[in-house]
């Protein structure tokens, strides 16, 4: 069986963090979070990495990543732009600046991905166990009728520096995803008692700290691209009035389930961490240094 591909979503604007955090250094030798993801993917057995980026920083991006990974794993690129894979005859609003979202970014990789693949964010640290579990699922579980999502424990994904957005997952008796509820303001209410809450327009609500959550780590069959294009062809015209509307991966997942598909929740023991706020950066550096000190990663990484 062909080795699966790792697709990395790196075209985001990093609006909250305020910089191009995809190429910011956090490791002891200035390694990026993405470097650790690629290291773990190579170790797990992935055969190719596809970076989804914007053309306006492509040269800078390539100059940074290619010396690190050339000869270690096959590299390829896809470019997300406002005019990429638009519905026939559709013109986006003239004042729209924001990209179309994660599912649209995935769609931009359709010409360079022909095998089972996983999708991750560039600026999230996922851990080796997650990549190994995803690799195994791509080999044994992914098909035209079954996809996968790596499930993290909610309490292992929160920031100490503010609210975060998390997709809280619900599963059926077979461990298949039934729904993802996007909670845009989840936070520690009391870390000492493992109490987590979220806020919405109706107020504050408690949520089980042990709930599985999506950190945008998915496993797909390449036929997903046909489904994304079909869904995007409907989404873009319907949301043309909203210049901030985004076409997210959970939208295509929801449609897939509604049309008879199954999405297996693949649990991982990995602890997630990432940089949502500038104040998170020291914690990320400390976490990576701890993993290096414990021998889980070499230094330098490559």
Residue 96 sits at φ, ψ, to 5 deg, of: -80, 130
Prior bond of 300 cis (ω within 30°): yes
Q: How distant, in Å, are the alpha carbons of 53, 55, 225 from that of 68?
A: 17, 20, 29
Burial grade of 103 (CB within 10 A; 0-12, 13-18, 19 or more)? buried
Alpha carbon distance 266, 250 (integer Å): 16
Q: Are 145 and 262 in contact (CB under 8 A)?
A: yes
Both tokens of 235, joined, read: 């989404």
Say whether 232 sits in a helix, a strand or coil. Answer: helix
> Residue 277's pLDDT is what?
77
- In a domain, residue 42? The reply is yes
Owning domain of residue 79: 5-149+214-262+269-293
pLDDT score at 58: 87
In a domain, 167, yes or no: no
Residue 166 lies in a domain: no
Within a domain: 156 = no
Residue 245 inside a domain? The answer is yes
For CA atoms 27, 31, 32, 37, the dihedral sign is negative
Give the model's pLDDT for residue 131: 98
Q: What is the pLDDT of residue 174?
A: 94
pTM: 0.90
Q: Which two tokens stand for residue 124?
A: 């999230």
Does residue 191 fall inside a structural domain? no
* Cβ neighbours of 298 (radius 10 Å): 10
Q: Is 148 exposed, middle or buried (0-12, 13-18, 19+ CB in 10 A)?
A: buried
The residues of the chain scoring below 70 in pLDDT are: 12-24
CATH no. for residue 244? Answer: 3.90.550.10
Per-residue confidence (pLDDT) for residue 21, from 0 to 100: 47
In sequence order, the 6+-apart residues with CB closer than 8 A to the CB of 159 are: 187, 276, 277, 280
pLDDT (tens digit per residue) in 185-242? 999 999 999 999 999 999 999 999 999 999 999 999 999 999 999 999 999 999 988 8
How many folded domains does the chain comprise? 1
Position 103 in a domain: yes
In a domain, 229, yes or no: yes
């Amino acid at each position: 069986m062909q080795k699966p591909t790792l697709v990395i979503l790196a075209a985001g604007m990093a609006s909250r963090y305020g910089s191009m955090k995809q190429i910011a250094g956090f490791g002891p030798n200035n390694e990026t979070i993405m470097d650790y993801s690629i290291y773990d993917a190579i170790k797990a057995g992935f055969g190719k990495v596809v970076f989804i980026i914007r053309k306006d920083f492509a040269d800078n991006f390539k100059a940074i990543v290619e010396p690190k990974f050339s000869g270690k794993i096959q590299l390829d690129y896809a470019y997300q732009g406002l005019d990429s894979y638009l519905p026939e005859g559709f013109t986006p609003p003239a004042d729209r600046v924001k990209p179309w979202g994660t599912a649209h970014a995935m769609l931009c990789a359709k010409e360079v991905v022909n095998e089972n693949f996983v999708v991750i964010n560039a600026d999230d640290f996922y851990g080796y166990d997650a990549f190994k579990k995803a690799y195994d699922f791509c080999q044994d579980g992914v098909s035209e009728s079954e996809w996968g999502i790596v499930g993290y424990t909610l309490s292992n994904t929160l920031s100490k520096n503010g609210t975060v957005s998390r997709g809280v997952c619900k599963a059926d008796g077979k461990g298949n995803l039934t729904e993802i509820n996007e909670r845009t303001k989840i936070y520690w209410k009391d870390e000492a008692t493992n109490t987590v809450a979220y806020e919405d327009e109706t107020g504050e609500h408690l949520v089980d700290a042990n709930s599985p959550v999506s950190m945008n780590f998915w496993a797909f069959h390449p036929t997903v691209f046909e489904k994304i294009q079909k869904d995007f062809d409907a989404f873009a015209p319907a949301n043309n009035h909203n210049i901030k509307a985004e076409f997210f991966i959970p939208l295509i997942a929801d449609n897939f389930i509604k049309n008879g598909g199954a999405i297996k929740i693949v649990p991982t023991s990995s602890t997630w961490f990432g940089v949502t706020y500038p104040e998170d950066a020291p914690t990320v550096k400390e976490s990576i240094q701890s993993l290096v000190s414990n021998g889980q990663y070499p230094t330098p990484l490559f």
